[in-house]
Amino acid sequence: MANSDQEILGRGSVDDVDAIMDIATFNDDVDTIEHIVENNADTIFTWNYDKGERPRLDRLYEKAKVSQWNASTDLDWSIEVDPTTALNLQAELLLDPDMMEDPSSPLAKWGDKEWEEFGVESLRWRLSQFLHGEQGALLCTAKIVETVPWIDAKYYAATQVVDEARHVEVFERYLGEKLDGGYPINPHLRLLLDDIINDSRWDMTYLGMQIMVEGLALAAFGYMHQFTDEPLLKKLLRYVMSDEARHVAFGVLSLQEVYADMTLAEIRERQEFAFEAAVRMRDRFLQQEVWERMGVDSRDMVQRLLQAPEEAQVFQKMLFSKIVPNCRKLGLLDAGEGWLRDRFTEIGVIEFEHLEDTGSEFTDYDIGTDDFDAASAQKAAEAAEIAMSNPAS
């Protein structure tokens, strides 16, 4: 029997505004440099060193070895960046017009100056959360090296540790050198990363990081890549996406084998964890910290964003365009009478289920792909069309 929303999320309903805002109290140590999380997992040695017993993981490992790039020499850090034009937020935000025209709205009196400032702050906030998420991926992948029992998975995960260190490096450098610094970690993201690190089961680390967090990041990077003409950011995102696609594929290919042997009760735990992660990541993109910095009542804005019509939530929905088909590939959508399918329907993202899963499409993101921009634009357009034409009821 499934747990209730209160047991899964710590609140009675998905859209409980008071509970969403209360999470901010968990971020009361933003000036503290270190954040310690208990790691309950066992470290597993394996004396079976037979490389290639899992051919698909071996293929990923071989691909990773020849796909490394150097953040210091492959990106031109001399490029001057104008933060006010680095990202076109108009196509992305699609804010409800009533939110700007309603006299009671905090945005009703905003002019060009405020919208320009909001664009810069939103960019800084988004890249900051990617930075923090990449450190989470760095630690989680190091944990996978320790805890997964297969040598092919240990080999590949070790290459991902290098990738994640490079991602932390580039986002920190872009924020520091081009945007004059960033934001602390969003409390919803921090709680999710804490849960992933804290869990003792290695497959939960895979599910939380490789499928959920990295899956959302891959989609978000793709849309930002479409919306920016700033050459340094565009190339940075292109390189990071080539790594991220392998990382998500690593999760899909590994968990397929694991989930095939699990009981329905064990699968239900994974479904509930995937749902919790999805809600926390949705809450993260309400970006309360930006509204507060802009002098806007963040609680009012969160409530307005949650109540916005479907057409004003296209971007937020599109962030799940990688997660949903990957969960379908793993059998998580329909196990246990379709519990996760119903929950993804509830939060308005189930319509992406028939898009290609990342275990099949990761080679499309290779750095050497000549027509990547066109292919990426096509993927984004397909996801946007689905999001706009199939609103959840």
User: Per-residue DSSP letters for 320-338?
Assistant: TTTHHHHHHHTTTTTHHHH
Distance (Å, whole) CA 314 – CA 327: 20
Neighbours of 86 (CB within 10 A): 24
The model's pTM is: 0.92
Q: Which of 384, 393, 294, 386 is nearest to 346 (CA)?
A: 393
Q: The dihedral of CA 228, 230, 233, 239: what is its sign?
A: positive
Between CA 348 and CA 312 the distance in angstroms is 12
Secondary structure element (H or E) that encloses residue 151, with its range: helix 151-178
N-terminal to C-terminal alpha carbon distance within the chain: 25
**CA pair distance 286, 301, nearest whole angstrom:** 8
What's the pLDDT score for residue 393? 42
Of 279, 266, 251, 268, which is closest to residue 340 (Cα–Cα)? 268
Domains parsed from the chain with CATH numbers: 5-28+54-87+100-389 (1.10.620.20)
Tokens representing residue 225 in the block: 């890549």
Those residues with Cβ within 8 angstroms of residue 309's Cβ, 6 or more apart along the chain or in another chain: 96
Integer CA distances (angstroms), 66 to 26, 29, 49, 270, in order: 41, 41, 22, 33
In this predicted structure, what is the pLDDT of residue 392? 46
Backbone angles phi, psi at 185, to 5 degrees: -65, 135
User: What is the predicted pLDDT for the residue at 179?
Assistant: 96
| Residuewise pLDDT in 10s, the chain (393 residues) | 668 878 888 887 888 888 888 886 655 566 788 999 999 899 999 999 999 999 999 999 999 999 999 999 999 999 999 999 888 765 455 566 667 778 888 888 888 899 889 989 999 999 999 999 999 999 999 999 999 999 999 999 999 999 999 999 999 999 999 999 999 999 999 999 999 999 999 999 999 999 999 999 999 998 888 889 999 999 999 999 999 999 999 999 999 999 999 999 999 999 999 999 999 999 998 999 999 999 999 999 898 888 877 766 777 888 899 999 999 999 999 999 999 999 999 988 999 999 999 988 888 888 877 778 887 778 877 887 887 775 444
Q: What is each CA distance from 265 to 142, 203, 256, 346, in whole angstroms? A: 28, 15, 17, 22
Other CB atoms within 10 Å distance of the CB of residue 105: 18
At residue 31, the 3 state secondary structure works out as coil
- Could you give the CA distance from residue 210 to residue 156 in angstroms, rounded to a whole number? 13
